[in-house]
Structure 1
């Protein structure tokens, strides 16, 4: 006979561990803040670029996370002259890879915004007409 407010196990004096009902991988939830994902993306951009011009600001990122998908915008400064397209491709690739590996989110979009170009020291000498 089952008690009115219990189970058959409780009627026999047996108790179950409430955590045993739900497998460990399904308990609770993990939420990673957007600013944490942005820090990871900014660091990944720094790794992808290597050495920056001495007066350049460090790359930083802004992120919008919806469910397990992160859309990233990276702001950076580059040396000039240089292959801007190649630098941007490498930043996109590395940010996608690192955010996916470290945070476990899908990154379908990495927008790279080049804020400023810095003359490299070898090319800092004025050429052409000067005043």
Structure 2
């Protein structure tokens, strides 16, 4: 009679040890990323007109990327294109650095323009 050594134990693989910091998954809610994006937009704009609402954002996160839409109000007159580029760039940098998501798209929607007091007061029609 011959004996087989090892049996089922010989076929087992040693358990791989995964470090504690690499186990599980991290999910950051869309609304958290939206708050970070809104804060980044505020940082990029600097001082806002007194009557302006603070910028806010909406975000859709999917497979490690975040698509961001930022709503903001600007003073008038200003270089709207340059201000929006600055917001886009800063939102991409901050979301990437703080959350680790790629941001391929930041849509900036200017909701309202506020005349600067030094520019003059808004006048209605006169007869």
TM-score (norm 1): 0.82
Q: For the residues of structure 2 that align with 1:104 and 1:37, how far apart are their CA atoms? A: 10
Structure 1 stretches of 4+ moved >6 Å? none
Structure 2 partner of 1:11: none
Counterpart CA distance in 1 for 2:38 and 2:24 is 29
Does 2:124 correspond to 1:100? no
Aligned partners of 2:115 and 2:33: how far apart in 1? 31
**Could you report, residue by residue, the CA deviation over 1:74-102 in whole angstroms, capped at 9, with x for unpaired residues?**
00000000000000000000000000000
Q: Unpaired segments of 5 or more residues in structure 2?
A: none
Question: RMSD over aligned Cα, in angstroms?
Answer: 2.2
Q: How does 1:48-127 map to 2 (within 5 A)?
A: 48-126=44-122
Tell me the secondary structure at the aligned position of residue 21 of structure 1: coil
Any stretches of 5+ residues in structure 1 without a counterpart?
9-15
Q: Which residue does 1:29 correspond to in 2? A: 25
